[in-house]
Structure 1
């Protein structure tokens, strides 16, 4: 008993240490965002932002291109999440619930597509999007993001769908429900956590992606937040890099991700509980 308690305490301490190591860069970014550049350039680190101010955040928000880039990133992320989850959901249902000719080939193709390096497709993607006049547009970038995200989300949702017994739907159909009603009333609530987890993955990929956006978004007014942040740092580097403003800008870029995750985290739990009760 004592050995078990000691092991539990040791694992708890290890978990706390790993959590602190993981959260420290985030803390340092936020802490530095409140400090002036001269303080950050000292050899002695400042662990707490005493004497700090909102000046860095005000300087970032004063840059009018920030809000333009924010709107661009938000639009691209929303379109990517919606269509990626929709297409992946339909594909996962098809390969988990139905047997059809070419099913094995389709599953293999999804697996192989994930192995292709993104950099190898840049030229083809650029020419394809350019040929339909979708460069520097939300739709053009979203098409590439959706194509990149769907294969992994198909595999993710396939596991969730396969984990829900088809007997639940058949039992509901015996009770008088149609196939579609049985699916949406019984199976769909059980799949909600998987859908939201897939949406989180798609959102993170679309929000943080840099290289594809760098290739397809060549105009300053069409930049996403990662591209804007690069330009913001380079603009500061023409004189002396103001790391306080850079950290403030990085914090503002990260805030929507944190808010989105906090919002869907509760939805994941409620969806799981709701589905279990209805099942």
Structure 2
């Protein structure tokens, strides 16, 4: 069997170089973040990407003096609230638009899609005024309400595809067996749509966990800051505590990675199922 020709070798080399460049581009910022977080000389003017002296002092500082544990707890409360509320509302809305026929059904779907196209920055002031009128400023409930509103359009459109892909014969068979609509929903429809809920929950979690603009606009009480907003305290007018910033960023990143690892199998199933309509 003849070996690879010069052209084949050059193509493989080009592919390999491209893969390495993409890998460095993707993982480089994360490696710099971790190295700085564990670097004992991060605030001593060290410009080395690799930490010469490893330490946990930066993490101790952000958790003890920076109260970052409180901020992480607030972010967890807001993210879980967003997942539960948006998932429940999106599932019911997706079932309604997929299984029932009513006036303005198409118009509602178009409006949901249009809402998703509106830039977030354009809604900061109107939502702030509305939240102030409802007394939701400086309350985590106010952030949950905003994040649910941003998560719903994507969740409804995604779950609509899942519900539409479930054969109606399954529902009719449940009715023939004497099941009521709630019983059919929980025992037939819900298990089949569960992978779609996992897929939308990832989007809702990331939206609520990483959001910054509304977090600093709606919350003025330091004890109610989310983790993304809490990072601001390590930036001052004349200096920046880079070790604390990167340690806080690392703590902010870990829950997202853990959540993704926990749901990644069901997420893959949900993506494949959502792409195929039965």
Which bracket does the TM-score occupy, shorter chain normalised?
0.7 to 0.9
Q: Is the 8 A contact 1:89 1:154 kept in 2?
A: yes
- Residues 43-58 of structure 1 mapped to structure 2, 5 A cutoff: 43=47, 45-47=48-50, 49-58=51-60
- Secondary structure of residue in 1 paired with 2:186: helix
1:8-30 residue CA offsets vs partner (Å, 9 max, x unmatched): 99868755653443122112211
Partner of 1:74: 76
- Residues 1-279 of structure 1 mapped to structure 2, 5 A cutoff: 14=18, 17-37=21-41, 41-43=45-47, 45-47=48-50, 49-175=51-177, 177-234=179-236, 238=238, 240-268=239-267
TM-score by length of 2: 0.83
Cα distance in 2 for partners of 1:92, 1:13 equals 45
TM superposition shift of 1:182 = 3.7
Structure 2 regions of 5+ residues with no counterpart?
A: 273-277
Bigger shift: residues 7-16 or 154-163? 7-16
TM superposition shift of 1:198 = 0.6
TM superposition shift of 1:177 = 4.3
TM-score by length of 1: 0.83
Change (3 A) 1:93 1:23: same
- Secondary structure of residue in 2 paired with 1:241: coil
- Indicate the RMSD between aligned Cα atoms, in angstroms: 3.0
Q: Is the 8 A contact 1:32 1:40 kept in 2?
A: no
- Secondary structure of residue in 1 paired with 2:92: helix
Partner of 2:275: none
Question: How many equivalent residue pairs?
Answer: 267
Q: Is the 8 A contact 2:215 2:229 kept in 1?
A: yes
- Secondary structure of residue in 1 paired with 2:117: coil
Cα distance in 1 for partners of 2:12, 2:109 equals 42
1:53-91 residue CA offsets vs partner (Å, 9 max, x unmatched): 112111111225312222221111111111011111111
Cα distance in 2 for partners of 1:231, 1:64 equals 8
Cα distance in 2 for partners of 1:264, 1:27 equals 24
Cα distance in 1 for partners of 2:136, 2:69 equals 22
Cα distance in 2 for partners of 1:107, 1:139 equals 26
